[in-house]
Amino acid sequence: MEILMRYFKTMKSISLIISLFLITSCSNNSSMKPEDFKNKEPRLIIEEYLAGSVKAWGVLQNRSGKVTRQFSADLNGTWDGKNLILKEKFNWDDGEIQNREWTITKVDEHNYEGTAGDVVGKAIGYSYGPAFKFEYVLLVPVKGKNLKITFDDWIFKQDDKVAINRATMTKFGFKVAELTVVFVKD
Q: How far apart are CA 157 and CA 49, in angstroms?
A: 9
pTM: 0.82
**pLDDT tens for the 186 residues of the chain, in order:** 566 455 545 545 554 444 444 444 444 445 899 999 999 999 999 999 999 999 999 999 999 999 999 999 999 999 999 999 999 999 999 999 999 999 999 999 999 999 999 999 999 999 999 999 999 999 998 899 999 999 999 999 999 999 999 999 999 999 999 999 999 999
**What's residue 16's pLDDT?**
42
DSSP 30: G
Strand segments (E) across the chain:
52-62, 67-79, 83-92, 97-106, 111-115, 119-128, 131-142, 145-157, 162-171, 174-185
Length of the chain (residues):
186
**What's residue 31's pLDDT?**
86
What residue ranges do the domains of the chain occupy?
31-185
One-letter amino acid of 41: E
Q: Write phi, then psi, for 51 (nearest 5 degrees).
A: -75, 135
Q: Does residue 101 contact residue 76 with C-beta atoms inside 8 Å?
A: no
**What's residue 177's pLDDT?**
97
**What's residue 6's pLDDT?**
55
Residues 31-185, CATH architecture: Beta Barrel (2.40)
Q: How far apart are CA 11 and CA 4, in angstroms?
A: 11
Q: Does residue 123 contact residue 135 with C-beta atoms inside 8 Å?
A: yes
